[in-house]
Amino acid sequence: MNGDVPFTGDARVDAAILRIRGKFRDLEDAMIVQAHLEKRMGERIKEQATYVDRHDQWMKHMEDKLAALTDILMKRGGGPESTERERHV
């Protein structure tokens, strides 16, 4: 048997130790996979946060453009934002 636990000479005990060692290796492997997945998810969350931030900036930019265009059209068309002089011209 490899590792630090020597064979005991009792087949049942040795088989149980081998099963425990196998389960322990499985658990170690699962922990490594879990750590990798958590790291990757952290990266994805950061990517998504960057995307959302860029999207929010773009939406603000577009809202500002739309507000400016609306303001121009309202002034031209005699809307509430137009001045008295512009309405009579």
C-alpha–C-alpha distance, residues 60 and 10, integer Å: 74
pTM, two decimal places: 0.54
Contact (CB, 8 A) for 74 and 81: yes
For 37, the token pair is 């997945």
Q: What is the pLDDT of residue 1?
A: 46
Domain ranges, ordered by start, for the chain = 11-88
What average pLDDT score do residues 37-44 get? 98
- Token match 């630090």: residue? 4
pLDDT confidence of residue 77: 78
Q: pLDDT tens, 45-76?
A: 999 999 999 999 999 999 999 999 999 888 88
Residue 5 DSSP one-character state: S
